Amino acid sequence: MRKKALLPTLMMAILLALSGCNNQVAIITPTLVVNTPAPTNQDIPTETQSLNTKIVTLSENNQTIIINLGETFLLDLGSDYTWTVNIDRLDVLSRLPNILVIKGAQGVYKGNQAGTANLTANGDPACLQSKPPCALPSILFSLEVVVNQS
């Protein structure tokens, strides 16, 4: 109990000693730390809501989806893996730049012209970066996207 009472006095003495004791008073202002919760999916403003996009998840692995020319979809493979996405025909399907998406999503993709494109994503477990790394295997996601003329 006595140690707590001495702490402010000791701090003031140290500050005065450091300031050269030239009759100046140091004012200590406490810093307020506010812990705000991480945003939820509802808190994150996304442009995908205005695009009326479909959502493609891991459940569509090794399947074919059909979209119309100009139509978009959100690729949401989750955050348990670090994903690297590749598209074999960027003239048919490409990722829209500068769109904020929900946590765990890999982006919004748009059908640019009629044709077929293969989208693949290599997923490395997020725990691979931990020390020691985990032993979970990487996974491969594959999706055939057919873009219709509409």
Convert the pLDDT of each residue in 28-53 to its tens digit. Answer: 333 333 333 443 444 334 444 555 67
Nearest C-alpha neighbor of 106 from the set 134, 74, 135, 58? 74
Mean pLDDT (whole number) for 137-149: 96
Residue where the block lists tokens 């509409």? 150
To the nearest whole percent, how much of the chain has pLDDT over 90?
Answer: 57
If one counts every other C-beta atom within 10 angstroms of the C-beta of residue 43, the result is 9
To the nearest whole percent, how much of the chain has pLDDT over 70?
Answer: 65
- List domains and CATH numbers for the chain: 48-148 (2.60.40.2020)
| Strand ranges across the sheet with 93-95 | 54-56, 72-75, 107-111, 93-95
> What's the rounded Cα separation, in Å, for the pair 10 and 53?
62
Lowest mean pLDDT among 40-44, 64-68, 101-105, 140-144: 40-44
pTM greater than the 0.75 cutoff: no
Contacts for 28-34 with beta carbons within 8 Å, 24 or more apart? none
> What's the rounded Cα separation, in Å, for the pair 144 and 117?
6
pLDDT tops 50 at residue 101: yes
Q: Residue 64: which residues within 8 A CB-CB, separation 6 or more? A: 143, 144, 145, 146
